[in-house]
Amino acid sequence: MTHIVCSHCGTTNRNPDGRDLASGKCGKCGRQLFEGQPVDVSGAILEKHIAKSDIPVLVEVWAPWCGPCKVMGPQFEAAAKQAEPGLRFVKLNSDDNQALSTRLGIRGIPTMIMFKHRKEVARVSGAMSSSDILKWASAQ
């Protein structure tokens, strides 16, 4: 049994072992649990991912005015296409979620943070290519 949080509504879905995660749909809102691209989530939904997800969660903290974030965005998407559903990719707009960004101790953007089993295990700042993102993520 794997617990997967829906990026759209924040519901925790229970996925029986052996059922294909890639095609799974949320029991509440009916959206795909994995779309092969990172969803821009609210702070509340990011906290649900961190608290409930059985798969590692990789969040990119970004903002619309940030030049390096514009470089990083498509790379992060390309990495998500390859690595989901083994990893959950989400984005957090730091302008819209200032309280949570402060709580996470974000000093510069873009910053990627990996969470495993409710704990931060690694973070890195600065724009990266999709292959470097995947290399970094698999080393954690």
Residues that bind Zn ion (CB under 5 A): 6, 8-9, 11, 26, 28-29
Beta carbon of residue 27, minimum distance to Zn ion (angstroms, whole number): 8
Instruction: Assess whether 6 carries a catalytic annotation.
Output: no
CA distance 14 to 85: 14
Q: Are strands 12-15 and 2-5 parallel, antiparallel or unpaired?
A: antiparallel
Of 102, 103, 122, give the one whose Cα is nearest residue 57: 122
Of 9 and 21, nearer to Zn ion (C-beta) is 9
CA distance 21 to 110: 28
Of 8 and 81, nearer to Zn ion (C-beta) is 8
Instruction: Assess whether 9 carries a catalytic annotation.
Output: no
Of 4 and 92, nearer to Zn ion (C-beta) is 4
Residues annotated catalytic, as ranges: 66, 69
